[in-house]
Amino acid sequence: METGRVLISEEEIAQRLSEMGEQITRDYEGEVVLVVGVLRGAFMFMADLARHIRVATEFDFMAVSSYGSATKTSGVVRILKDLDEEIAGRHVLVVEDIVDSGLTLQYLLRTLKLRRPASLEVATLLLKGDMQRVPVDVRYVGFTIGPEFVVGYGLDFDQLYRNLPYVGVLDQHSL
């Protein structure tokens, strides 16, 4: 299996997640936070980040699919699995794998906001430094990366490579 080159190593991810966890712990001190993982890409990031959050934490999941080609989203989002929990009056932290155009997240946040949470913030492992991005407010960003297509640590290409313990860039010829 072609895995390409390492962009962000396991060690760098671990170090950054502990910093993010500390920041989240400070920001939510005395509150109960409902961490909402966006499946499938966020599963690994969510599990590892959660170990560094030291306030009362509950978990829920959503699954969305963005229509589009394998590497570009169209912004039309379908909810494949909605939350099990009601979020009105609760502190919701949405955990995403990557924000590229921001269209998926914009749709998701609009939908969740209508349910009147007490607060609604986003933690993403990766943010693509994309000038085309729609304005979305992302409070916690792991790493800002270039426009290249990345895989690993939850992120897929055609459903593969999610299990890589690092974030990598596929070789052009394997795409």
117 binds Mg ion (CB under 5 A): no
Q: According to CB under 6 A, which one of 125, 127, 155, 170 is a site residue for ligand IMP?
A: 155
Q: According to CB under 5 A, which one of 21, 37, 41, 142 is a site residue for Mg ion?
A: 41
Which of ligand IMP, Mg ion, none is residue 73 near (CB under 5 to 8 Å by kind)? ligand IMP
Choosing from 27, 84, 97, 100, the catalytic residue is 100
13 closest CA partner among 173, 174, 145: 145
- Least separation in angstroms between CB 31 and ligand IMP: 26
Distance (Å, whole) CA 165 – CA 163: 6
Number of CB atoms found within 10 A of residue 166's CB: 18
Q: Does the annotation count 100 as an active-site position?
A: yes
- Nearer residue to ligand IMP within complex by CB, 26 or 81: 81
Distance (Å, whole) CA 153 – CA 84: 25
Distances (CA, A) of 59 to 50, 62, 84: 9, 10, 10
Q: How many residues bind ligand IMP (CB under 6 A)?
A: 16
Number of CB atoms found within 10 A of residue 6's CB: 15
50 closest CA partner among 85, 24, 78: 24
- Least separation in angstroms between CB 159 and Mg ion: 12
Which residues of this chain interact with ligand IMP, rule CB under 6 A?
A: 41, 66, 73, 97-105, 149-151, 155
Residues annotated as catalytic are 100
